[in-house]
Structure 1
């Protein structure tokens, strides 16, 4: 109507609000369409979740995991990085795996698992696994973007899918796989001062991992590496013209 203007509420684009996080993820993350492309890349593509140490105790970028595992041992996987759209600040939903599992028992993890041939894309794989593990139905999830592919010492090549989760979602853990479900403020995990380095002896090697301690929760390995990658892609200070 002439002479009148509709009032449009301003969006909260602070970096840890739901709208602010979504904007950062979609502008600085990897497009969802790249997920299938990632599955076709050689083992030399991707970020190692841990780095071997050289004889001086320093991480050596030339000693990569593809030299430790034969090509036929690698398996593709996808995880959902669930960002719960809480106001005024979002949280990260994480799981504690049960102690009896054959892989990553008792560790903090994102919901996810192996990519099945029946999955149309790795994004569908992440959503399927989240539904199976924590009862998260796809209608509660808005997939936004990808993080970088991660190679783990256990032979998985993991595609992380960032998704914004409706805060009305009520988790239902699958008791055989998930012991607990909890949330951590994203602002805590994106503070570089909270990023630790963790040493582990594995198969006669010394491996350096990222790690984060939140209250009694110790987050390390591939999960911490993916969170560190989220920090580097979305929140780390950037030089002008840096469009990584």
Structure 2
């Protein structure tokens, strides 16, 4: 039975086979930012319709490290930031006019935030653009990361950087649906707690999008 069958959703592939799978199922060009059917924060809140009419474009790197087993690099944002303080996030940020592609933007941000050089990155493809309730449309670029790098958190933005097994993130049993009360009412979201790290919101939504592409497709 294939390790990606419905009865065994935890990915158990080496780096080479994972790269082949990803290239066959991910988008090979950046996604259409105007695709209203793409994933977003309101997937679990039908009718909420709180997306910005003209969202700002951002890109994140989904860095899958070629270890045995495969891992994913994530960061914890510093507590003093004005937006998303203390949350778990992928390396990434605003796409600037000088960025040739969303991957270039994500790679630049990864270098700035955690000192991950682009020479270690092999782009595998893109996920559909993800809309956030905070006014962004995010292009996730999935890359295989060659070991040998040394990560260093940029202290004004990143409190810590850590790795999570890809198999844990790709196992649907670890995808919780939780809710909180906000000023606008109760909202539901995906959460994937891992040890002391509470992965939720847009980061969990993008992980869920990766799962749908690689495992449940």
TM over 0.5, shorter chain: yes
1:30 to 27, 32, 49: 27
Aligned partners of 1:45, 1:65: CA distance in 2, in Å? 15
Contact between 1:97 and 1:105, CA under 8 Å: does it hold in 2? Answer: yes
Q: Which residue of 2 aligns with 1:175?
A: 155
Contact between 2:42 and 2:48, CA under 8 Å: does it hold in 1? Answer: no
Counterpart check, 1:132 vs 2:112: yes
TM-score of the superposed pair, with normalisation by structure 2: 0.90
Q: Which residue of 2 aligns with 1:208?
A: 188
Aligned pairs, number: 208
1:64 to 41, 46, 49: 49
The Cα RMSD (Å) is 1.8
Question: What does residue range 61-210 of structure 1 map to in structure 2 within 5 Å?
Answer: 62-66=47-51, 69=52, 71-72=53-54, 74-87=55-68, 89-210=69-190
Give unpaired runs (5+ residues) of structure 1: 1-13, 53-58, 239-244
Greater relative contact order structure (CA < 8 Å, 6+ sep): 2
Question: What does residue range 9-24 of structure 1 map to in structure 2 within 5 Å?
Answer: 15-24=12-21
Contact between 1:200 and 1:206, CA under 8 Å: does it hold in 2? Answer: yes
Alpha-carbon distance, 1:207 to partner:
1.6
TM-score of the superposed pair, with normalisation by structure 1: 0.80
3-state SS of paired residue (1:125) = helix
> Cα distance 1:201–1:51, how it changes in 2: closer, same or farther (>3 A)?
farther
Question: Considering only CA atoms, is the larger Rg found in Structure 1 or Structure 2?
Answer: 1
3-state SS of paired residue (1:113) = strand
